[in-house]
Amino acid sequence: MADPMKIRANMMGDKVVVKVLMAHEMETGQRKDSAGKTIPAWFIQNVTATHNGKTVLSAQWGPAVSKNPFLEFRFSGGKAGEKVIVTWTDNKGDKRTDEATIA
Partner 1 sequence: MKQSRRDLLAASGGVTVMALAASAGLFKSGDLHAQEWNKSAFDTKNLQDTVKAFGGSGAAESKDIAITSPDIAENGAVVPVSVTSKLGKTESIAILVEKNPNALSAAFDIPGGTEPFVSTRVKMGQTSNVHALVKADGKYFYATKEIKVTLGGCGG
Cα torsion 88, 89, 90, 93: sign: positive
Residue 45 binds to partner 1 (criterion: CB under 8 A) = yes
Residue 60 binds to partner 1 (criterion: CB under 8 A) = yes
Closest CA to 51 of 99, 89, 6, 7: 99
Residue 92 binds to partner 1 (criterion: CB under 8 A) = no
Residue 61 binds to partner 1 (criterion: CB under 8 A) = yes
Give 5-44 as a DSSP string. PEEEEEEETTEEEEEEE-----B-S--B-TTSPBPPPB-E
Nearest approach in angstroms of CB 29 to partner 1 is: 9
Residue 97 binds to partner 1 (criterion: CB under 8 A) = no
Interface ranges with partner 1 (CB under 8 A): 15, 26, 28, 30-32, 45-46, 48, 54-67, 69-77, 89, 91, 93
